[in-house]
C-alpha cells in the first residue's frame, strides 16, 4: 500500500469513528440520566409493557455497541496514521 492509501483511510475513518462514538456516548448518557432500569421477572399487564422494556434494553446495548464500533474505527484510523508517517 502506498502512503496515499493510508492517508485516505485516516481521512475517512477518523470522522466516521468519532461521529459513531459520540452518537453512542450521547445515547448512553441520556439513558443513564433518565435512570431507566427495566425490571426483570415481573409479570406485565399487557404485551406493550414487555415491548417497552425490551426496547429499553436494546437501546442501552445499541448505544454501547455504537461506542465500541466507533472506538475500533478510531483505533484503526490511528494505526493507519502511524503507518502513513512510517511509510
Q: In angstroms, what CA-CA distances link 72 with 13, 28, 81? A: 10, 17, 14
pLDDT tens digits, 38-62: 666 777 778 887 787 788 888 888 9
Name the E strands within the chain.
none
The predicted structure's pLDDT at residue 18: 95
- Give this prediction's pTM: 0.78
Q: What percent of the chain lies above the pLDDT cut of 90?
A: 49
Amino acid at each position: 500500500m502506498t502512503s496515499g492509501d493510508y492517508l485516505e483511510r485516516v481521512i475517512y475513518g477518523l470522522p466516521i469513528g468519532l461521529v459513531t462514538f459520540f452518537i453512542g456516548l450521547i445515547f448512553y448518557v441520556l439513558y443513564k440520566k433518565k435512570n431507566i432500569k427495566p425490571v426483570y421477572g415481573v409479570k406485565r399487564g399487557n404485551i406493550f409493557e414487555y415491548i417497552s422494556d425490551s426496547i429499553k434494553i436494546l437501546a442501552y446495548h445499541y448505544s454501547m455497541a455504537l461506542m465500541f464500533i466507533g472506538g475500533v474505527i478510531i483505533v484503526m484510523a490511528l494505526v493507519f496514521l502511524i503507518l502513513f508517517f512510517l511509510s
